[in-house]
Amino acid sequence: NYSISKTVLDEGIEQIMIMTASGSGVLIQKYEAFDPTMLQEMMLNEVTKVSVSYGYTMERQDYDKTLNYGQKLKVLKAALEYKGEIETYEITAYGGKDEGILIMTMNMNDEIDPEGADMIDLMWSSLQIK
């Protein structure tokens, strides 16, 4: 039901994104020249700084996630709230020698956009990193 956008951000960096009309979705960046695990904290800060400066309160809820086939990932999670509006961002990365992927999910409110939560759940339940 959604279109997928694929963009080359820079040489050796590809991005795939799928979003709902209300802004929930999944972003995956593939890196061919370096390990992106060091970018997780920076990416989380970049996507939350405007909301925090606007007045949203942020609660960090980082956790370890085990994928269906046993791969473990550290997920950085930020839940932002302002006047009952909730935005949730999750960022993880998996890297090896000079390559890897960075994954970000954005959930702009389960009650308003249940399709976004379903899309994110489907991504996590079907994700396989090789």
Give Cα 52 distance to the centre of its chain: 18
Model pLDDT for residues 19-68, shown as the tens digit of each residue: 988 889 999 999 999 999 999 999 999 999 999 999 999 999 999 999 88
CA dist 118 and 113 (Å) reads 9
Q: What is the pTM of this model?
A: 0.91
Is the confidence at residue 130, as pLDDT, over 80?
Answer: no
Which H/E stretch holds residue 40?
helix 40-54
CB 91 within 8 A of CB 75: yes
Model pLDDT for residues 75-102, shown as the tens digit of each residue: 999 999 999 889 999 999 999 888 999 9
Torsion, CA 21, CA 23, CA 25, CA 30, rounded to 10: 110
Is the confidence at residue 12, as pLDDT, over 80?
Answer: yes
Give the model's pLDDT for residue 128. Answer: 87
Give the model's pLDDT for residue 49. Answer: 96
For residue 118, is it left (φ>0), alpha (ψ between -120 and 50) or beta?
alpha
